[in-house]
Amino acid sequence: MYTRAIVRRPGRNLASGITTSNLGQPDFNKALEQHAAYCDALKRCGVELTVLEADERYPDGCFVEDTAVVNNMVKVISRPGAASRRGEEEEIARVLAGFGPPESITPPGTLEGGDVLRAENHYFIGLSARTNTEGARQLSAILSKHGFTSAVIRVEAGLHLKSDIAYLGNGNFISTPVFSEIAHPANTIIPDRDEYYSANCLRVNDYLLIPIGFPKSKMQIRKLSYEIIELEMSEFRKMDGGLTCLSLLF
pLDDT at res. 29: 98
Whichever domain contains 12, its CATH number is: 3.75.10.10
Residue 186 CB coordination number (10 Å):
7
Q: Across all residues in the chain, what is the average pLDDT?
A: 96
Domain range enclosing 129: 4-249
pTM of the model: 0.96
Specify whether 160 is catalytic: yes
Domain count, the chain: 1
Catalytic: which of 122, 160, 184, 201?
160
Query: Looking at the predicted structure, is the pLDDT value of residue 157 above 90?
Result: no
CB 131 within 8 A of CB 147: no
> Percentage of the chain with pLDDT > 70?
100
Specify whether 35 is catalytic: no
Query: Looking at the predicted structure, is the pLDDT value of residue 102 above 90?
Result: yes
Residues 160-188 pLDDT 10s: 999 999 999 999 999 999 898 787 777 99
Rounded Cα–Cα distance for residues 101 and 109 (Å): 20
CB 75 within 8 A of CB 103: yes
Residues 38-97 pLDDT 10s: 999 999 999 999 999 999 999 999 999 999 999 999 999 999 999 999 999 999 999 999
Catalytic: which of 39, 62, 201, 245?
245
